[in-house]
Amino acid sequence: MSDEKEFQLNPTPHLDELEKGPWPSFISGFKELAKRTGNTMVRGALDQLNYSYETRLGYWKGGVVGVHGYGAGVISRYSMIPDLFPEAKEFHTVRIQPPPGLHYNTKKLRFLCDTWERLGSGLINMHGQTGNLQMIGIGQDNVQEFFDEVNKEGWDLGGAGAVVRTGASCVGPARCDQACNDNLKLHEKMLTYFTDLVHRPQLPYKMKMKFAGCPNDCINSIQRADMSFIGTWRDDIQQDDAEVEKFIDEKGMDYVVNNVITRCPTNAITLEGKKMVIDNKDCVRCMHCLNVMPKALSPGKDRGLTMLLGGKGILKMGNMLGAVIAPFMKCETDEEIEAVIEFVENIIDYWADNALDHERVGEFMERIGMHQFLEDMELDATIEMVNHPRDNPYFKASHDHDPLAKKG
Amino acid sequence: MAERTWKTIESGPHPYMEMLHPVCIKNYGKWKYHERPRPGVLKHVAESGDVLYTVRAGTERQDTVDIIRRFCDLADKYCEGHLRWTVRNNVEFMTPDWSSVESLISDLEKLGHPIGGTGPSISAVAHTQGWLHCDIPATDASGAAKSIMDTVYEEYVREEMPNRVKLSTSCCEINCGGQADIAVVIQHTRPPRINHDILANICEMPSTVARCPVAAIRPTTVNGKPSLMVVEEKCIYCGACFGACPAMEINHPEYSKLAIWVGGKNSNARSKPTTMKLVCHGLPNNPPRWPEVNAVMKRILTAYKEGARDWERVGEWIDRIGWKRFFELADLDFDRFLIDNYRHARTSFNTSAHIRF
Interface contact B246-A61, CB threshold 8 A: yes
The shortest CB-CB distance from B269 to any of A33, A192, A216 is to: A216
DSSP class of residue B21? Answer: -
Nearest Cα neighbor of A120 from A102, A97, A85, A95 is: A95
Domain boundary among A271, A298, A325: A298
Residue A276 has a pLDDT of 96
Interface contact A103-B207, CB threshold 8 A: no
> Would A49 be classed as within a structural domain?
yes
Average pLDDT over residues B184-191: 97
Average of per-residue pLDDT values in chain B? 96
Domain check: are A309 and A328 in the same one?
yes
Would B22-110 and B195-236 be classified into the same CATH topology?
A: yes
> Confidence class of residue B250 from pLDDT cuts 50, 70 and 90?
very high
Altogether, the residues listed in chain B come to a count of 357
Q: B67 or B3, which is more confident?
A: B67
Provide the CATH number for the domain around residue A119.
Answer: 3.30.70.2500
pLDDT over threshold 90, residue A118: yes
Domain check: are A180 and A307 in the same one?
yes
Domain check: are A71 and A148 in the same one?
yes
Domain check: are A205 and A308 in the same one?
yes
pLDDT over threshold 90, residue A260: yes
Provide the CATH number for the domain around residue A254.
Answer: 3.30.70.20
What is the rounded CA–CA span in Å between residue A240 and residue A254? 20
Interface contact A319-B175, CB threshold 8 A: yes
pLDDT tens per residue across span A208-255:
999 999 999 999 999 999 999 999 999 999 999 999 999 999 999 999
Element (H, E) at B227: strand B225-230
How are the residues of chain B apportioned to helix, strand and coil, as percentages rounded to the nearest 5?
A: 30, 25, 45
Domain check: are A253 and A188 in the same one?
no
Could you tell me the residue ranges of all domains in chain B?
22-110, 126-189+253-339, 195-236
Residue B1 has a pLDDT of 54
Domain check: are A75 and A208 in the same one?
no
CATH architecture of B126-189+253-339: 2-Layer Sandwich (3.30)
Interface contact A216-B268, CB threshold 8 A: yes
Domain check: are A217 and A112 in the same one?
no
Interface contact B131-A53, CB threshold 8 A: yes
> Confidence class of residue A3 from pLDDT cuts 50, 70 and 90?
low
Range of the domain at A142: 60-152
Q: Which amino acid is at A217?
A: D
What is the rounded CA–CA span in Å between residue A300 and residue A319? 33
Q: B52: helix, coil or strand?
A: strand
Domain check: are A175 and A78 in the same one?
no
Chain A, 362 to 401: residues with Cβ < 8 Å from chain B are none
Average pLDDT over residues B43-68: 98
The shortest CB-CB distance from A103 to any of B68, B84, B256 is to: B84
What is the rounded CA–CA span in Å between residue A251 and residue A240? 16
Task: Note whether A65 and A142 are within 8 A (CB).
Answer: no
What is the rounded CA–CA span in Å between residue A110 and residue B232? 53
Q: How far is B139 from chain A (nearest CA, A)?
A: 7
Residue B355 has a pLDDT of 95
C-beta atoms surrounding A114 within 10 Å: 13
**Which phi and psi (to 5°) does residue A403 adopt?**
-65, -25
pLDDT tens per residue across span A286-341:
999 999 999 999 999 999 999 999 999 998 889 999 999 999 999 999 999 999 99
What is the rounded CA–CA span in Å between residue A42 and residue A121? 6
**Under CATH, to which class is B195-236 assigned?**
alpha beta
**Which phi and psi (to 5°) does residue A148 adopt?**
-60, -45
pLDDT over threshold 90, residue B37: yes
Domain check: are A226 and A323 in the same one?
yes
pLDDT over threshold 80, residue A2: no
Residue B330 has a pLDDT of 98
The shortest CB-CB distance from A113 to any of B13, B65, B126 is to: B65
- HSE-CB at A135 with a 13 A cutoff on CA atoms is 31
What is the rounded CA–CA span in Å between residue B221 and residue B23? 67
Tell me which chain A residues have a C-beta less than 8 angstroms from the C-beta of B4.
68, 144, 148
Domain check: are A220 and A74 in the same one?
no
Interface contact B8-A69, CB threshold 8 A: yes
**Peptide bond connecting B30 to the previous residue in cis, omega within 30 degrees of 0:** no
Tell me which chain A residues have a C-beta less than 8 angstroms from the C-beta of B19.
99, 103-105, 108
* Whether A245 contacts chain B with CB within 8 A: no
The shortest CB-CB distance from B76 to any of A106, A185, A187 is to: A106
Q: B106: helix, coil or strand?
A: helix
> Confidence class of residue A6 from pLDDT cuts 50, 70 and 90?
confident
pLDDT over threshold 60, residue B164: yes
Q: Which residue of A has its CA nearest to B22?
A: A174
Task: Note whether A278 and A302 are within 8 A (CB).
Answer: no
DSSP class of residue B132? Answer: G
C-beta atoms surrounding A180 within 10 Å: 29
Domain check: are A25 and A107 in the same one?
no
Q: Could you give the ipTM of this predicted complex?
A: 0.96
Tell me which chain B residues have a C-beta less than 8 angstroms from the C-beta of A45.
132
Provide the CATH number for the domain around residue A371.
Answer: 3.30.413.10
Strand-pairing partners, residue A229, are: A211, A307
What is the rounded CA–CA span in Å between residue B222 and residue B196? 7
Task: Note whether A199 and B25 are within 8 A (CB).
Answer: no
Q: Which amino acid is at B141?
A: A
> Would A359 be classed as within a structural domain?
yes
Q: How far is A396 from chain B (nearest CA, A)?
A: 23
Domain check: are A226 and A306 in the same one?
yes
Average pLDDT over residues B288-297: 97
> Would A404 be classed as within a structural domain?
no
C-alpha angle A192-A172-A305 in degrees, rounded to nearest 5:
75
Tell me which chain A residues have a C-beta less than 8 angstroms from the C-beta of B94.
175
What is the rounded CA–CA span in Å between residue A144 and residue A365? 39
Tell me which chain B residues have a C-beta less than 8 angstroms from the C-beta of A106.
72, 75-76, 81-83
pLDDT over threshold 50, residue B260: yes
Tell me which chain A residues have a C-beta less than 8 angstroms from the C-beta of B72.
106, 109-110, 113
pLDDT tens per residue across span B7-32:
999 999 999 999 999 999 999 999 99
> Would A159 be classed as within a structural domain?
no
DSSP class of residue A312? Answer: B
pLDDT over threshold 60, residue B271: yes
> Would A207 be classed as within a structural domain?
yes
Domain count along chain A: 4
Report the topology of domain B22-110: Alpha-Beta Plaits (3.30.70)
Residue A1 has a pLDDT of 47
Beta-carbon contacts of B1 under 8 Å, excluding residues fewer than 6 positions away, are A141, A144, A145
> Would A277 be classed as within a structural domain?
yes
